[in-house]
Amino acid sequence: MGVCDAQASDAPVGKPTEMSSPHLPKHVPKVAGIDSTVPAPPHTKAPLAGVPAAAAPADAAPADAAPAPGALITDRLAGWVSDLTTLHELTERLIKTATLDDALHEVLGAGAALVGARRGMAVLEPADGFGPTATIGLGLAHADLGTIETVPRGATSYGRLLDGLPDPGRVPEPIAIHDVRTEEGLDPRHREVAARLGYAASYALPLATEEAGRIGAGVWLYDEPAAPTDRQRHLVGLYGRFATEHLARLLQVERARVQVSTVAEELLPSRLPRVPGVLLAARHRTGPRGGGDWYDALPLPEGALGLAVGSVSGTGPSALAAMGRLRASLRAYAVMEGEDPVAVLSDLELLLRLTEPARSATALFAYAEPARRRLVLAGAGHAPPLLVGERRTEYVETSLSAPLGMLSCWEAPSVELSPASGETVLLYTDGLLRRIGDPIDRAFARLHAAAASVPRADRDDPGAIADHVLRTVLPDGIDPAVEGEDVVLLAARFD
């Protein structure tokens, strides 16, 4: 049927919503991912809240007059274009989110606009049970969310969506409560909480698809008895399916980050040794892909102590595995010849060239005798330690040397250091300097200024010193979603 035939067949009707689903003219292409059978919108209202309706022509007929030929189809097309534009803008905003928390807040705001609600809550609860889980609110304080959670879970809309179906691959239908006061079968506690928080109706949408499974649910609350129209349901359903796929991708990234972080922590010391004459503290922050930065502290014969920090090139599981092998090897060499840090690093360099020829590493090893307050250290392409005390804050002068694996034969002279009573030696990896974001000389200056500004009350606690330095040079902390190197700090305070 052509456009002219369609126009001729359109007789005046009372309400557009009572008509059968509209059919697009043949010359109007379908849009990928969008169902063309959108319920027909009332052409006297805007397609969505906040989106202006298509402007009426200047010579439009009065409202009680029969529509001009083709006017109904024109209005429908205008409504569809407006809806597609709105969905495009909302999905573009969602796709820019990089964390689960940001994505959930974006979904809540977009869903509220699409269904015409003012408040809502989103529950992240993957059906596989591996987490993570979260509950956030829109226009609801933390205490309000806690009040909602006092309703028996099986009586809530989100609980029915998340727990009501035994098949995790099946997508449940949305749940609309038109009026909490008159809805049959509601739990009395549900009505009590609704009255306390001042909402009268709700619309709950599963965040689920057949491919991603059930990720969670979104619930939007109305101040007065209400329910979304068929058209609003259709639009929020389209958006919800897209949002679920995006949340599923972010969920995979978050789980991978947690797994990498867990592996990295397991490869590092579970606790620091207790050696008379010295107090130890360590801080380790891992990036989203996991780097090869590490630290170690091991007791040695005759009350000595071995301190080490280092970094393996690369990121991800292979770098973590290489870091674990390198750290274990250094421990063995430290036990055999720890009094000579140069020999320890020379053995480590030979092992690295033989077993990991395509990889390089930086390392610093210090042989400490706490009873004598004496350190002998050597570094391979590593940043110099920082000495922090009441009367001085200065870098330890070490000779420049290449990283391990860069030269056919590595060797560098060692340096001897005698910390005063109460002074702290701060070892760190290059990742800290790079995370600061300034050129290397300014990064060193900022790190020195941070160490010099440690409050007097915190100078007896190596952990407090490390925390102060991190807060000062990285005031926003380390965003786990932002690519970057690991950060390692190892502080040793001598009595």
pLDDT digits (tens, 9 = 90+) for 378-410: 999 888 999 999 999 999 987 768 888 887 667
Question: What CA–CA distance (Å, rounded) separates 34 from 416?
Answer: 71
pLDDT digits (tens, 9 = 90+) for 307-359: 999 999 887 778 888 888 999 999 999 999 889 999 999 999 988 888 888 88
pLDDT digits (tens, 9 = 90+) for 232-271: 999 999 999 999 999 999 999 888 888 877 877 778 888 9
Residue 440 confidence (pLDDT) above 50? yes
435: nearest Cα among 212, 321, 332, 283: 283
Q: Could you give the percent of the chain with pLDDT greater than 70?
A: 82
The pLDDT assigned to 318 comes to 83
The pLDDT assigned to 482 comes to 55
Residue 38 confidence (pLDDT) above 50? no
Residue 218, strand partner residues = 122, 205
The pLDDT assigned to 310 comes to 92
Residue 147 confidence (pLDDT) above 50? yes
Q: All domains of the chain, ordered by start, with CATH?
A: 1-95 (no CATH), 97-260 (3.30.450.40), 268-494 (3.60.40.10)
End-to-end CA separation in angstroms for the chain: 93
- Show the CA angle centred on residue 432, arms to residues 370 and 350, nearest 5°: 65
Among the residue ranges 82-96, 288-302, 325-339, the one predicted with the least confidence is 288-302
| Number of Cβ atoms within 10 Å of the Cβ of 255 | 14
Residue 212 confidence (pLDDT) above 60? yes
Q: What is the DSSP-derived secondary structure letter of residue 385?
A: P
- Residue 213 CA neighbour count, 13 Å, CB half: 18
Amino acid identity of residue 286, one-letter, is T
The pLDDT assigned to 69 comes to 61
The pLDDT assigned to 263 comes to 79
The pLDDT assigned to 168 comes to 55
Q: What is the DSSP-derived secondary structure letter of residue 98?
A: -
Q: Could you give the percent of the chain with pLDDT greater than 90?
A: 58
Question: Which residues have CB under 8 Å from 301's CB, separation 6+?
Answer: none
Token pair of 141, please? 């304080």
The pLDDT assigned to 7 comes to 36
The pLDDT assigned to 74 comes to 84
- Asked if 235 and 80 count as a contact pair (C-beta separation under 8 A), the reply is no
Provide φ and ψ at 223, rounded to 5°: -75, -25
Residue 367 confidence (pLDDT) above 90? yes
The pLDDT assigned to 165 comes to 54
The alpha-carbon radius of gyration of the chain (Å, integer) is 32
The pLDDT assigned to 431 comes to 86
The pLDDT assigned to 479 comes to 61
Residue 290 confidence (pLDDT) above 80? no
Mean residue pLDDT of the chain comes to 83
93, 235, 239, 357 from 33: Cα distances, Å = 18, 12, 11, 50
In this prediction, residues 77-94 reach a mean pLDDT of 91
Question: What CA–CA distance (Å, rounded) separates 136 from 218?
Answer: 10
Residue 54 confidence (pLDDT) above 80? no
Q: What 3-state DSSP class applies to 300?
A: strand
Q: Which residue has the higher pLDDT, 315 or 117?
A: 117
